[in-house]
A and B are shown apart, each in its own frame.
Chain A
């Protein structure tokens, strides 16, 4: 069955001032709930502290990202997303909430390279401030990549992640690859 399950752009990869790669299948769960009231129940499932505003925190085999005051995005193994939804639903029973598997609705990219060119590459296509002070590892920024919605965070100074909707994965990959083309160095960040 596994070879029948495909991410948006399997194996897509571009090299330039930075390397852009589609990361394959990634489990993602959208959880909408009263985050103040349900923090403990959620932590019980994810093992992660409730992230603060725009923060992304690590849990047991998963990451929890703050999306809005009543929305989290939980990143886990693709195969675990269904169970994650079930576990969250069980943990939050009796509480108004919505947990839904959105793994296949998205595409995830790794953008990696030297710190400056990495931030420069992203700054060609997003109006969000890509400086290290404005977007440090541990924070997730929802914004746009030119004409489509996306979320960006840094795993480290030299590696960023980009999430977008699955249908525009090709567009976002092409944008990133174009921005990373050799010869386009800016030297700003």
Chain B
């Protein structure tokens, strides 16, 4: 059982205690502890359950690569699943619960799966849950759902109370990793005068060197680390950042770094996480290396740990992993762990070294300390159910015949080290196989390249394969200097500190222990601890024909756990290569994708949540709408008033009331969102003729004309009223969502096609508040306000406009009528918009003034048969389909879309065309309903002959009205066709339809007598 040693622990403050709970149990730790170290100190060796077999699992690593010790962190609003105990800094009041077990961590029903592993081999789900089909819904799916997912999903009804943010930084160099290599690289870059951001994912500088007993310039590594950090802090061009992980490297020197600002001190009024979005010329990945497990039977039992992790727990946190620890290794480095255990006063019954010989200085030192060193040996099995009781030794070269049982309560394993090459690989850097070290390292000849075609990532130190301290610093210096020189910031000559550590003899690549293990033993050798992928699974995949490592990964789920293969990938692909009879480098690795470790959704979202999730565009009248109970609807990013329901009034009743009030007297509409674009210049007329299907160049100043805009594809993209302000200048109104798009469209053609035309445009949409003053009393209310303009029908006829004072406001008045009534659109500078709106309400009282919203506007325009972009159009509709031929100039040689509209498909007489639709029973046809036709298509589906594009209840006509596109529609006036409905038919009956008569789309005032008065 693990416990806290009485002394030691370089990172903890033993003078203080902090309290936390695990599965409701109250425990204590020290400041500086991680949750994992504090749990070990409390004797809690089982920290989780594996995914598939629910096997009890202890912590295996001490850092980001941990696959087992995943916990639910926090409660209620702050609850977050799958947090690694090894990277969770302990704080006072931390609450954690274990995951993936039922009913308890110690006793789990699902563990029965582990007794039946041969029924759950690789590809089990793919093979099993196929037939019979009928089983899917009631048998397979519930089974899979019940066993799917680690951790407990956060409660969707809870809102994360924390705050998150982004930060954009621009720098010359980003250095990932604050170990000795990263610090050395930062020194070089700092001295070169480059702007540097140095990120370290943990809370401490220096990485592994202090734990590994490295000496630098004859002193303990910690001294050099402290001196170097101090030197770097003194450099203005160097920015140091702890608790910040470089998560990903992307194209053109874009880097994401994940700063855990307040995870370790959640009470503070700080953002919890900050996502750094950095642009840098160069990235130096000093990301170190990760130790690999050894694949021996029972290597997943609680108490079996990476040798380096055990060293960390002893040295950094003063943890005793057990009283008697067996070390099993294929290299010299693991002997450091044996020596550390010994130095802590604990027992090492033996070191099991798979190599035939071991005689390096570390080995000799171990022997000198009286540790029994067994070479050419391996582990054939681990005894114990929920922990380690003993290991069974065997010959590595054999099949696993047990030669001796060694009683112990912990095992430290080391299968060698793999450089962390993720950041090198994210943007396409290639790897090369280092045979002596048995690892992949960056291939310097094939780096990821940036916008200049230059390599922009280097690995430094252990990440570059310089695993031993003696080569690490000089490698980091060289790699950093190369990177700096490559973008014109050479570093000045400077002495590189000399790092020294005991010499290490080469490792022996050991991928399976023992070498000749049979199927039974291979099915107990874990590769991927979290996903329960074993050596036997990968071998089975190979036998079943999975040759690609990418396919094997997905078939077996090797490396698909939350650690993303950090521990398992190299071991797994070595097993695969062996099974395929291939060289490891030929099998290759799976793709390294960002982020390096999971980052929070909160950090990704940053500030974009709640009120500022999206920009909401507000008109100058927005506050009035809110004060008057408007029900708002989104139109693009705009918020518009849909209707203004009174107390107890339904939306539909409100809409009907607004329409009746407008048609009967006076309605006001906030039309400020309409796009307004100025087009000016000697060639403006010519340009307008190209933009619109109509002839705009002939429009007289003082007049307005309704116009259509098409894309080069011929499809209708926008419509609106154009006013000619003067000989040179047009004002184009666009749809609400269309202003930015249409302005960009105009500039596109002016800048990229007709750049010799003298035309300037300006988007003045938001300069103006625009108010629709609509209804028989509209002229009266304007005249009541007082104006220097003549608003009579003679002076300002339909489709005319005028500028002048209205009630003291600076206005333009357009005589246009989207509702089909006498109406005026009054344009006023936005700063005066609210005041004019209020003045109109005041003056309009005697006329029964009523504000109406977008739905009333829609109904009224539909009653008039006016089309709406986005309702009648969907990107496949041309103006000719909508009976708008009158708005298409026959005289013009060219306009955007004209050639496209000549294509055979566009001129096909059988196209669906716009008509009005009147239900025979007066009901409202469902939105989006299709007109059914005779027969079925090749797939047995019913044929259609049209569809509804707009459908409303008309309070004016007191019946349902609709517009729709119907095949040959305009030639079929009076014909009755049927539309499908959403009404559920009785069993055995045909689907319900509704009958509608094809009529003119103009339902209201076809002669225009209402608007032209």
Could you give, for residues 591-626 of chain B, a 1 whenever the CB lies within 8 Å of some chain A CB and a 0 otherwise?
A: 000000000000000111001101111111000000
Could you give, for residues 81-102 of chain A, a 1 whenever the CB lies within 8 Å of some chain B CB and a 0 otherwise?
A: 0000000000000001110111
Q: Does A123 contact B (CB under 8 A)?
A: yes
Interface pick from B118-126, B559-567, B676-684: B676-684
In the complex where A123-B168, A167-B766 touch, is A100 in contact with B678 (Cβ < 8 A)?
yes
Q: Do A1 and B808 touch across chains, with their CB atoms under 8 A apart?
A: yes
Q: Do B612 and A96 touch across chains, with their CB atoms under 8 A apart?
A: no
Could you give, for residues 170-189 of chain A, a 1 whenever the CB lies within 8 Å of some chain B CB and a 0 otherwise?
A: 11001100110111101010
Q: Does B169 contact A (CB under 8 A)?
A: yes
In Å, the complex CA distance between A184 and B268 comes to 10
Cβ-defined partner of A101 (8 Å) among B169, B638, B767: B767
How many residues of A are in contact with the other chain, CB < 8 A? 52
In the complex where A174-B612, A188-B167 touch, is A106 in contact with B760 (Cβ < 8 A)?
no
A residues near B274, Cβ cutoff 8 Å: 186
Q: Do B615 and A32 touch across chains, with their CB atoms under 8 A apart?
A: no
Q: How far is the CB of A183 from chain B (nearest CB, A)?
A: 4
Cβ-defined partner of A183 (8 Å) among B270, B619, B729, B834: B270
Interface pick from B245-253, B463-471, B522-530, B824-832: B824-832
Q: How far is the CB of A136 from chain B (nearest CB, A)?
A: 15
B residues near A97, Cβ cutoff 8 Å: 760
In Å, the complex CA distance between A174 and B609 comes to 11
Q: Do B615 and A124 touch across chains, with their CB atoms under 8 A apart?
A: no
Q: Which residue of B lies closest to A182 (CB)?
A: B269
Q: Does A130 contact B (CB under 8 A)?
A: yes
In the complex where A134-B170, A147-B614 touch, is A98 in contact with B681 (Cβ < 8 A)?
yes
In Å, the complex CA distance between A33 and B681 comes to 10
In Å, the complex CA distance between A182 and B678 comes to 43
In Å, the complex CA distance between A97 and B684 comes to 12
In the complex where A98-B681, A134-B170, A166-B830 touch, is A104 in contact with B768 (Cβ < 8 A)?
yes
B residues near A186, Cβ cutoff 8 Å: 167, 274
Q: How far is the CB of A138 from chain B (nearest CB, A)?
A: 19
Cβ-defined partner of B764 (8 Å) among A6, A105, A169: A105
- Which residues 103-148 of A have a CB within 8 angstroms of B? 103-106, 120, 123-131, 134, 146-148
Q: Which residue of A lies closest to B639 (CB)?
A: A167
Q: Do A5 and B767 touch across chains, with their CB atoms under 8 A apart?
A: no
In the complex where A123-B169, A134-B170 touch, is A100 in contact with B607 (Cβ < 8 A)?
no
Q: Do B762 and A102 touch across chains, with their CB atoms under 8 A apart?
A: yes
Q: Do B831 and A7 touch across chains, with their CB atoms under 8 A apart?
A: yes
Could you give, for residues 315-339 of chain B, a 1 whenever the CB lies within 8 Å of some chain A CB and a 0 otherwise?
A: 0000000000000000000000000
Q: Does B835 contact A (CB under 8 A)?
A: yes
In the complex where A104-B767, A148-B615 touch, is A96 in contact with B681 (Cβ < 8 A)?
yes
In Å, the complex CA distance between A6 and B169 comes to 36
Q: Do B829 and A104 touch across chains, with their CB atoms under 8 A apart?
A: yes
Q: Do B766 and A165 touch across chains, with their CB atoms under 8 A apart?
A: yes
Q: Do B768 and A171 touch across chains, with their CB atoms under 8 A apart?
A: no
Q: Do A170 and B830 touch across chains, with their CB atoms under 8 A apart?
A: no
In Å, the complex CA distance between A33 and B830 comes to 25
In Å, the complex CA distance between A23 and B488 comes to 44
Q: Do A123 and B762 touch across chains, with their CB atoms under 8 A apart?
A: no
Q: Does A58 contact B (CB under 8 A)?
A: no
B residues near A37, Cβ cutoff 8 Å: none
Q: Does B163 contact A (CB under 8 A)?
A: yes
Q: How far is the CB of A78 from chain B (nearest CB, A)?
A: 8
Q: Do B269 and A174 touch across chains, with their CB atoms under 8 A apart?
A: no
Q: Does B481 contact A (CB under 8 A)?
A: no
Q: Does B758 contact A (CB under 8 A)?
A: yes
Q: Do B681 and A178 touch across chains, with their CB atoms under 8 A apart?
A: no
Q: Does A70 contact B (CB under 8 A)?
A: yes
B residues near A102, Cβ cutoff 8 Å: 762, 764, 767
Contact surface of B with A, Cβ cutoff 8 Å: 163, 165-170, 239, 268-271, 274, 277, 279, 606-608, 611-612, 614-620, 637-638, 678, 680-682, 729, 758, 760-762, 764-768, 808, 829-832, 834-835
User: Can you list 16 A-B pairs with a CB-CB distance of less than 8 A?
Assistant: A25-B831, A70-B760, A96-B681, A102-B764, A102-B767, A104-B767, A105-B765, A125-B166, A127-B277, A167-B617, A167-B638, A178-B163, A178-B165, A178-B607, A181-B269, A184-B163
